[in-house]
Amino acid sequence: MSQRAVLLVNLGSPNSPSVSDIRKYLRAFLMDGRVLDAPYPIRFGIVHFMILPFRPKRSAEAYHKIWRPEGSPLIVTSRKVQADLQHRLRIPVELAMRYQNPSINHAVKKLRAQGVKDLLLIPMFPHYAMSSYETAVDRVARLLSKVAPKISLSVMAPFYEHPDYIRALVGSAADYLKQPYDHLLFSFHGIPERHLHKSDPTSCHCLTTQECCAGTSLVHDTCYRAQCLKTVRAFAQSAGLPDDKFSIAFQSRLGRDPWLKPYTDHVLQTLARTGKRKLLVMCPAFVADCLETLEEIGLRGRQSFRDAGGEELTLIPCLNEHPLWIAALEKMVREWMSPTSTRTQSIASVSMENV
């Protein structure tokens, strides 16, 4: 029985591409107050009367286009990552999803049964956002307190500029960057601007100036936008990209409220109309390919780019099971196991008061 263990947590996926399973997934996802951060009665009305009657059918069509015989690409890839990491470590490595299966509840009970005393949670989100990193940490912490209160929890801090994460990103893109291309677009998952304000501990920094993400600030510890920009700067420096060879955009917006800009769908058309013919796209906010990369960018985005005059859009795969990514995860775990580790933070230091 191991005293230590690792828990990898990603966002999740429907159990199948059926309309009913997607409706169940969307209900769980959108009813999370850290995702759709409206008061419960308003959130309930929006989800059940404005979204669920229509969106599951459209999403089912998209999921059918990317679904694998083994299941959801996100789940299939995540299980391979779990297996590869387990092969390198002598302590248990469990996998769970914030929504649906494999569930966090099941993973926690399994770890308890294995006699685990110390647990490292690695949220599989490189950047801090209340709708991804924060909700995953909160869910694990709450379940542990109820189901396995004797397990001590450590949490891997957002690794947006961890040298090994950057090294893995650059390594995964190396072959694509060797080929002729006109431009590289970094497309990050978008979040509403109000989420930045809610995650700002000062309540007066984020989005107040055009340079709010520059330099160093304690606010950046929970600023999704600043962390995305730092990832791109680190990547560009490591890969030797000229400033005019790449740009940044944000995808997957929902609703009419302002989200982080510029919007990826708009940028794709602009790049095509301004003469970019061969475009590379990376999605560094995702460590495993999923609906948002394979369908939104790889299918719809590619068609939009072509319709606007572009010739070729190449989606660079996410880290998935890349050996450098598995090595980065292994190093994160071994650093945690070292008595001099500084890259993990206790659950008490993870801010849950800004929502």
User: Is pLDDT above 50 for 354?
Assistant: no
Residue 350 binned pLDDT confidence (cut-offs 50, 70, 90): very low
Which CATH number does 163-315 carry? 3.40.50.1400
The stretch 170-185 carries a mean pLDDT of 98
Q: Tokens 């929970």 label which residue?
A: 222
pLDDT tens digits for range 54-105: 999 999 999 999 999 999 999 999 999 999 999 999 999 999 999 999 999 9
Fold topology of 4-16+67-158+323-349: Rossmann fold (3.40.50)
CA angle at 311 for the pair 225 and 63, rounded to the nearest 5°: 60
pTM for this prediction: 0.94
Domain boundaries, the chain: 4-16+67-158+323-349, 163-315
pLDDT tens profile 241-287:
999 999 999 999 998 899 999 999 999 999 999 999 999 999 999 99
- When pLDDT is averaged across residues 34-43 and rounded to a whole number, the result is 97
C-alpha 215 chain-centroid distance: 24
- pLDDT over 70 percentage in the chain: 95
Answer yes or no: same fold for 4-16+67-158+323-349 and 163-315. yes
In the chain, what percentage of residues exceed pLDDT 90?
91
pLDDT at 338: 86
Instruction: With residue 155 as reference, give the H or E element that holds it.
Output: strand 152-156
The stretch 343-348 carries a mean pLDDT of 47
C-alpha pair distances (Å), 65 with each of 24, 59, 73, 178, 299: 19, 10, 11, 29, 9
Give the number of other CB atoms < 10 A from CB of residue 253.
18
